[in-house]
Structure 1
Amino acid sequence: MLLALGRIALVDPPALSAQGTIPPGEPHLFLPVIFTTAANPGSNPNFASNTPIWAHAGAPAAHEVALFRHQFSLRAARTDARLHIFADTRYEVWVDGRWIGRGPARFSQTRHEYDTYPLGDLSPGEHLVAVLVQWAPNTRRSESMAPHLLAHIEGKSAAGTQVVARTDGNWKALLSSAWRQDAAPLHSWQLIGPTELVDLRQLPVNWMMPAVADDSWPNAVTRPVGGHIHYTERSIPLLVQVPRAATVIDAGILSPGRILGQVTPSEPAPYSWTFTLHHPATITLETLSELQSEPTGQFMRGVFPKFYTELFSEPQSGVLPAGLLNGQPLDWTPIGALRPDVLRATMSLPAGTHTLSFPETPLNNGWVFGVTPTPGLETALPFAQGNHAGRRLLLAEPVSRPESVAVDGNSASSGLDLHVVAAPAYVVLDLGRVVHGRLAVTVTGPAGTILDIGWDERLLAGTRRPLPHPGSLHAEWNQVDSWVLDGTPRAISTIDTRAGRYILIAVWGAAPVEFRDLQVYEERSPVTQRGWFRSSNPRLDHIWQLGVETLYASLQDAYADPWRERGQWWGDAYVTDHMAQVAFGETYLLRRGLLFMAESFRNGQPTAFAPNGDGAQLLDYSMLWAQSLYDYLKWSDDQAFVHQLYPALKRLMSYLETRRNPDTGLLDIAPGHWSQTALIDWVGNASRSGQSTALNALYYGTLLDAAAIAERLLEPAQATSWRQQAAALRQQINDRLYLAGEDRYAASILAGALVAPTTHAQAWPLAFGVTPPERVDAVATALLNPFRVEIFGMYWVLEGLATAGRIAEAVELVETYYGRLLDQGATTLWEGWESNLHYRAALSHSWGGAPTWFLTTRILGAWRAGPNQWVVQPAFEGVDWAAGALPLPAGDLQVEWQQPSCTERTLTVTAPTESNGEIRLSTARLVELRLNGTVTWAGGSALSDRVQMRDGLIQIGSS
């Protein structure tokens, strides 16, 4: 076979395009400005002198919003002014009426990173800083402690840098009554925070503008925060707000021919509604079945209810409502799958007065019901915003009438304009894929009109209707916000982010209602896609890019899924980061995540996610943290940072030793819920306990990575010890868990008995190099038959097959399983192969991104070995040709290989000038090697100093 290597060209990398800005629009609008400059890690000495303030000194409610204003005067100009700010839980800030930004990045109880904004020059005269702060504790992102705001503005003068304004008791502070404090949470376990239910009649117009008088506002109170907090400057770039095109896919009328009523939880029991019929009539009532969901309230740390055990379980069954008509129970009948949880009762009534009553106190979220009016019916149903907007959206029946809403514009450019002629009406928007961000729009409508906006990842099967509150399909979930209009043009958006592909807008009450310049902004890390992959198989190319599309919504202020939880689970983050490295090449989210994880370990005892990770102890996730630490060291060479986290690594390794079986040396995990053992994969039950093959293979890889870190940090004795432990562990795995008669590994040893083999038990040993060379082919065959693995586990399946040289089979798995997602219309990666069938499962989950990493590193054959070091080892298999780019700090490494004939292979590598690397080629069937036209290897021998034989591979240096 003749192999002709293409030219290795060393070229300057292309200039990376700078991030632009989004015009802020009118100064009172909640529209974003993009800032992309990352603050240098460190600490501003003035920040520690700021006084934490709040709007009151009492115990906070579950949800509060406070408005702050502070006017200050400058006798002389200040140049290079900067604002430094932090708030618990989040803030938005304006200076002199100009929207500046929002934050902060998620934080722990001990580490708070304040944000820094350049303000330019401040002229002499009066200035105003205005801040909106939302107190919204949750259990997946920031570890909120007490509501407070800390900030100061400084600028330069002839005398040096001076603070011109800082938080203290002279600031004005107003606890806003516009946001309901009892708003239902997005998830009833408080995973994310509250829905935002706003009465604009209670919010002063343009309250953040300099012209507004605040003399009547009370002064802020100083509020000690407590704890041992370390304030540092933000270590990651400010998030950007990227416009996302929204397409109207449906519009119409809500429940035509019916009147909706809503009883709020504050109504005393029993609640009665009396109506009069002037002649006999048939009345139809509709309501929702009541759900026995987890109680609303603070989610207990360390408790992982049945939801997690049965992620893909069937919907809950509802309870019939206790409504009575004239004292008699109603005969409720479910309507059907197209209207989940909706019940209907029809009765014939004589003329006269009748009473519908609910004898029990309304549930936490109240009652919602509908009535079909009839001639002769006198009625005035109660209807208010309530504390749970999702329930009325679930009860309402959307009937498509596109002519009911006039649509103009394009949200990707100038924004959408909507004109609602009659209410109740609705509009459905499609964003093309799941987006993590906000909708922003200026709305004008009659005072008292209610506007609901809900987000969802999917449409209800057979409809064009999203279910932002799916009822029994996912009882805990409710992603619906609401505003009561005040009759004036108002810019509305949510303070916190929302996520989904589809947005449902509903208008209740009087009309007309005008929506002007409706835009959807994706909030994400300011990354630029530099990596790419193309091949002779367009389906693989599409799958590779599917991973990148999923990443955009997952790269927030941490690696986090955008929908159900938004927590930084480290197993998920491990796969996400590998995708990000081949698509974007940035490491700052990896660095910050490693730090939060390290600080959350308690005496080495691992946590699964951080911040807020107390109670979840997944051994596989903690070991993947250690492997990510080595990845970061390789990719960044940031030894100082890794040295800072090295004690946490040592404590983790010591803790793992305590979980080893004293007789075998294998990790031996007592059976228990996966949140206290390991996950491995959603279908990895057999590998979560006992002396698990998969877990011990992962442990083997962790020992080797820890040893490599110790060696880099000049601790050779520790490195030797961990390598020796790894060697002994590998021997024990092969001696005790390999079934010679079956040519495969048992899943585990539990209570002295071998557990039947699984796919995971074959993939993990192959991926980590546990399997002896003479057994590799047999184990790879066993991995494929029978094959049962979920999408998360595919990372190690593909790595294992690639290590075994089974590239064709790996590519076939990618095409089969991920291709099925494409065939079903996926525009982002799912949480599981059948997530479309289960409302509890996510349709955008980056832990499924194995193919993006695999296709770049194993098919194209390019990976990063150091900050600007690369390796190219093309597969020459799986596809006819492949081309792509791998981002490096110095520029993009571009690789292309082809197979012009059955006896010839060509490879072209174009590398950045400030990089170095090597090309590795198998000698199997190789007859001759040409480098830039010159024969450099023939007859089994190297003919050039640039060509060396090592580990059975030809290695060619870049210079």
Structure 2
Amino acid sequence: MKRGLIILCYWLLAFTATAQEKQINPELLNQQWPSRWISHPEGPQRDYGVFHFRKVFQLTSVPKNFVIHVSADNRYRLFVNGKAVSMGPARGDLYNWYYETIDLAPFLKAGDNIIAAKVWNMGVHAPVAQVSNQTALVVQGDNKEASIVNTNNTWKVLRDPAYSPVSTDNGPRLRAYMVIGPGDKVEGAQYPWGWESVDFNDSGWVNAAAIASPAPFGKGTDNLWTLVPRNIPQMEETQQRILKVRRAEGIEKDEGFLTGKKAFSIPANKKVSILLDQTFNTIAYPELLLSKGKGASVKMTFAEALVDEQGNKKNRDQVEGMHINGNYDIFVADGGDKRLFRPLWMRTYRYVQLDIETKDEALQIDDIYGMYTGYPFEETAKFSSSDASLKNLWDVGWRTARLCAGETYYDCPYYEQLQYEADTRIQALISLYVSGDDRLARKAILDFYHSMVPEGLTQGRYPSNRLQVIPPFSLWWVSMIYDYFMHRDDKAFTAEFLTGISSVLTWYKKHLDPEKGILGPMPWWNFVDYTHVFPNGVPDGADDGNSSVISLQYVYTLQQAAKIFDYHGKSQQAEQYRALASKIAKRTYELCYDKSKGLMANTPEFKAYSQHANIMAVLTDAIPKAAQQALMKRVIADTTLGPATFYYRFYLNQALKAADLADLYYGQLTPWRDMLKMGLTTFAEKPEPARSDCHAWSASPNYDFLATICGIMPEDIGFSSVLIKPALGELSYANGSMPHPKGTIQVDLKRKGKTGLKAKVNLPANLKGNLVWNGKSIPLTGGVQEIDL
């Protein structure tokens, strides 16, 4: 197979497209690196530990370029002459261990320089999203001059005794699945303050131990990590001020210190509690600057929402009668001036509570703020309409999407920070439409490809240090590839996944019931939606056989795969997929369609009915076209059907569009409006009671406002032509613009009477398409055109 060569070529192409835009010395891609992976010679290699590495080196002058490549296990933060210059590595796995490429020249000076790295291993407390081998650091210069900083036994290392893990009981304490890693406790008196500066005395440190030769992809015979270039940009970090003090106990309330311009003093031998409110949900590295107060303890607790005595959330703005319960960090002051505490990993919060206990010296809070972090998406799309309230939905949706995007997409930033296919498909579409940046989407498709198990399925989430297989999510992975295929002209990239797609579809084919012709019993976790009628998200018939919902999702995916395989010249396989899809759809209709009710049942037993089964029936045309409008009207009106939650309402809208009922979308936004009424500033995982207040799969309005209301969609593969099919609903006008690989698509849409439309469309040069309104199609070309229908 040419798979290795294809992947290596892809990494090279993808890397040059990142924000770093650094070229890599070809020799480093084709041989083991001269540097070494290094670690502490006596420190634990797979257990919890925080380590500081440093090397002083001399330069006679500052070079024009000084490019290095750096990585670590689990994580690192790199400093040059005291300035933080890189964090990483981007999360992957041992087969695809990412390294960052950085030009250090802007941070160097003539004479003595210091390169230093804080490296940590969370051991058994590590996030589930963190794959690991053992504690280690590698730095490799890109050329001979930069090789002076190569990691080897000339580097010095210290295991930091100041750190210990806390908040390790989050799951049972919060009664939720929470796997983001521990909090930090830092004893200031034991921390090596100034360790990253060139004049720090490291005479008590030991020389690092070389443990392995770094091997790039396709090289090496005994790799601990296989190195590949980072294919996404560095994460954003922007200072974000905390805005309010909502409550103060044991001390007078004072918000002055939140501005950073006024210090706040806590008297000696005092216990105080201060509740801070960011006023909106965020993800950031909180930074706390303290002076004096030797022995004082500051506990920082983070939460998306406060809870009552029974642990229930109410309106998210409510403070009275509510308290905080969340993950936390602890900092113990050493009495020094301007001591900066920053946790090793980012925290998600709207509320932050400071519980402070001083000893015999007053403690001074000099400053506190967050360094907002996340994938550096830019909001290039715009949307406005005659309903001004949609602007708030747009803003909250985009905040939700941004908080759920880092080195991977996250399902939720507070509890898991794991990348699941079902969430990621929706997130990737939002990214493409609102920012136009497709790099994280490409990385996600690759991540899931790398997760494949011998059975032929992808894992349900990845990267992950625990195995979880969710068969329907493997189908959504294929849908992700289809979406990318429709939105980007990137044949070489999609070709890489044909074998994986075939593997997934073959797994499902093996699980067809030979007598009934639809899916029989299936192993693993057959999650579809967290609706209350599906126990643990699993629909009727998934585990014991004959689920119409998943059978039709399989049909949906076969239909998409057929288009992909046709495009790649695999017409025979494409036709096989089409024929199989048609056969399963026909059998599902025959077995599960209840003619008396005019509904698709969840199984042939006709015991339960859901929106999900009928949504999929429309999306696959398992229901005859002539019956689809009546069916979808019943689906949104019949309250006896198992309801779709926020997540699956994405597919509800797709089915409305397929049935030519997209005008009903605007009236389906009540669940999102209700979340805003509850004080939510990001969209929740599911209806109340919700675990996660920020869940990316609920941010679909940011896609739908452009793709449904404005009606902007790819008309052909690779977005080579555009279809604009507006669905204004009750809106009198809507304006939208979105990025396209060739430029910007802009539409201004106004109703004329009950059935007319006045449209102004501006397409990039060399882009063609069609505007469709009330069954009439108008050709579009590049440039501005005004249409009066």
TM-score range, shorter-chain basis? 0.7 to 0.9
Aligned partner of 2:281 among 389, 411, 434: 434
Shift of 1:406: 5.8
Aligned partner of 2:657 among 802, 805, 817: 802
User: Hey, what's the Cα distance between the residues in 2 that align with 1:77 and 1:859?
Assistant: 55
User: Hey, what's the Cα distance between the residues in 2 that align with 1:245 and 1:432?
Assistant: 11
Matching of residues 343-742 of structure 1 within 5 Å: 402-403=252-253, 405=254, 407-408=256-257, 410=259, 417-421=263-267, 423-461=270-308, 463=319, 470=325, 478-489=326-337, 490-510=339-359, 511-560=361-410, 561-603=412-454, 604-612=456-464, 614-670=466-522, 676-683=525-532, 684=534, 685-687=538-540, 688-689=542-543, 690-742=545-597
In the alignment, is the contact (CA less than 8 A) between 2:258 and 2:369 conserved in 1? Answer: no
Report the AA paired with residue 275 of structure 2: V
User: Hey, what's the Cα distance between the residues in 1 that align with 2:531 and 2:20?
Assistant: 39
User: Hey, what's the Cα distance between the residues in 2 that align with 1:415 and 1:719?
Assistant: 65
In the alignment, is the contact (CA less than 8 A) between 1:600 and 1:613 conserved in 2? Answer: no
Larger radius of gyration: 1
Shift of 1:118: 1.8
* Stretch deviating more after TM superposition (57-66 or 236-245): 57-66
Shift of 1:205: 1.6
Report the AA paired with residue 686 of structure 1: P
Aligned partner of 1:877 among 719, 729, 740: 729
* Structure 2 unmatched ranges of 5 or more: 1-17, 214-221, 309-317, 783-789
Shift of 1:796: 1.0
Shift of 1:496: 0.8
User: Hey, what's the Cα distance between the residues in 1 that align with 2:440 and 2:475?
Assistant: 18
Query: What secondary structure does 1:763 align onto?
Result: helix
Shift of 1:760: 1.3
User: Hey, what's the Cα distance between the residues in 1 that align with 2:276 and 2:35?
Assistant: 44
Question: Which position in structure 1 is the counterpart of 2:647?
Answer: 792
Matching of residues 222-371 of structure 1 within 5 Å: 222-224=210-212, 227=223, 229-253=225-249
Aligned partner of 1:129 among 95, 111, 115: 115
User: Hey, what's the Cα distance between the residues in 2 that align with 1:537 and 1:442?
Assistant: 44
Aligned partner of 1:832 among 686, 698, 719: 686
Report the AA paired with residue 737 of structure 1: C
| Residues 1:576 and 1:793: Cα distance change in structure 2 (over 3 Å) | same
User: Hey, what's the Cα distance between the residues in 1 that align with 2:725 and 2:623?
Assistant: 22
Report the AA paired with residue 277 of structure 2: D
Higher strand share: 1
Question: Which position in structure 2 is the counterpart of 1:16?
Answer: none
- Cα deviation digits, residues 628-669 of structure 1 (max 9, x gap): 011112222222222222221121111111111112332223
| Residues 1:186 and 1:49: Cα distance change in structure 2 (over 3 Å) | farther
Report the AA paired with residue 343 of structure 2: T
- Cα deviation digits, residues 419-477 of structure 1 (max 9, x gap): 33463122222223221221113211321111111110002346358755x3xxxxxxx
Shift of 1:57: 4.2
Report the AA paired with residue 614 of structure 2: Q
* Number of residue-to-residue matches in the alignment: 723
Query: What secondary structure does 1:812 align onto?
Result: helix
In the alignment, is the contact (CA less than 8 A) between 1:466 and 1:502 conserved in 2? Answer: no
User: Hey, what's the Cα distance between the residues in 2 that align with 1:694 and 1:541?
Assistant: 34
Aligned partner of 1:195 among 157, 161, 183: 183
Aligned partner of 1:165 among 133, 149, 153: 149
In the alignment, is the contact (CA less than 8 A) between 1:39 and 1:235 conserved in 2? Answer: no
In the alignment, is the contact (CA less than 8 A) between 1:419 and 1:515 conserved in 2? Answer: yes
Shift of 1:532: 2.3
| Residues 1:498 and 1:713: Cα distance change in structure 2 (over 3 Å) | same
Shift of 1:592: 0.6
1:141 aligns with 2:141: no
Aligned partner of 1:73 among 43, 58, 68: 58
User: Hey, what's the Cα distance between the residues in 2 that align with 1:891 and 1:907?
Assistant: 19
* Stretch deviating more after TM superposition (897-906 or 651-660): 897-906
1:177 aligns with 2:161: yes
Query: What secondary structure does 2:393 align onto?
Result: helix
In the alignment, is the contact (CA less than 8 A) between 1:530 and 1:892 conserved in 2? Answer: no
| Residues 1:676 and 1:709: Cα distance change in structure 2 (over 3 Å) | same
Shift of 1:767: 3.0
User: Hey, what's the Cα distance between the residues in 1 that align with 2:262 and 2:685?
Assistant: 32
State the structure with bigger RCO (CA 8 A, min sep 6), 1 or 2. Answer: 1
Query: What secondary structure does 1:164 align onto?
Result: helix
Question: Which position in structure 2 is the counterpart of 1:782?
Answer: 634
Shift of 1:906: 0.3
| Residues 1:790 and 1:42: Cα distance change in structure 2 (over 3 Å) | farther
Report the AA paired with residue 956 of structure 1: P
- Cα deviation digits, residues 806-862 of structure 1 (max 9, x gap): 334432221x22111111111110011114xx5xx0001111123222222111111
- Cα deviation digits, residues 842-884 of structure 1 (max 9, x gap): 0011111232222221111112453564221112433221111
1:153 aligns with 2:141: yes
1:213 aligns with 2:201: yes
Shift of 1:185: 5.7
User: Hey, what's the Cα distance between the residues in 2 that align with 1:112 and 1:185?
Assistant: 29
User: Hey, what's the Cα distance between the residues in 1 that align with 2:25 and 2:478?
Assistant: 25
In the alignment, is the contact (CA less than 8 A) between 2:47 and 2:122 conserved in 1? Answer: yes
Query: What secondary structure does 1:637 align onto?
Result: coil
Report the AA paired with residue 485 of structure 2: L
Question: Which position in structure 2 is the counterpart of 1:817?
Answer: 671
In the alignment, is the contact (CA less than 8 A) between 2:529 and 2:645 conserved in 1? Answer: no
- Cα deviation digits, residues 503-540 of structure 1 (max 9, x gap): 11121123532222422111111111011222122233
Question: Which position in structure 2 is the counterpart of 1:37?
Answer: 20
User: Hey, what's the Cα distance between the residues in 2 that align with 1:183 and 1:845?
Assistant: 23
User: Hey, what's the Cα distance between the residues in 2 that align with 1:83 and 1:177?
Assistant: 29
User: Hey, what's the Cα distance between the residues in 1 that align with 2:685 and 2:24?
Assistant: 34
Report the AA paired with residue 494 of structure 1: P
* Structure 1 unmatched ranges of 5 or more: 1-34, 255-400, 471-477, 924-952
In the alignment, is the contact (CA less than 8 A) between 1:747 and 1:761 conserved in 2? Answer: yes
Shift of 1:112: 0.7
In the alignment, is the contact (CA less than 8 A) between 1:466 and 1:503 conserved in 2? Answer: no
Report the AA paired with residue 237 of structure 1: P
User: Hey, what's the Cα distance between the residues in 2 that align with 1:418 and 1:236?
Assistant: 40
Query: What secondary structure does 1:196 align onto?
Result: strand
1:762 aligns with 2:614: yes
User: Hey, what's the Cα distance between the residues in 2 that align with 1:218 and 1:880?
Assistant: 71
User: Hey, what's the Cα distance between the residues in 1 that align with 2:194 and 2:340?
Assistant: 10
| Residues 1:721 and 1:416: Cα distance change in structure 2 (over 3 Å) | farther
Give the alignment's Cα RMSD to 1 decimal. Answer: 2.5
User: Hey, what's the Cα distance between the residues in 2 that align with 1:877 and 1:463?
Assistant: 38
In the alignment, is the contact (CA less than 8 A) between 1:531 and 1:886 conserved in 2? Answer: yes
Higher helix share: 2
* Alignment TM-score, normalising by the size of structure 1: 0.72
- Cα deviation digits, residues 47-82 of structure 1 (max 9, x gap): 733211111345446421001111122355532112
1:956 aligns with 2:787: no
Query: What secondary structure does 1:907 align onto?
Result: strand
- Cα deviation digits, residues 358-400 of structure 1 (max 9, x gap): xxxxxxxxxxxxxxxxxxxxxxxxxxxxxxxxxxxxxxxxxxx
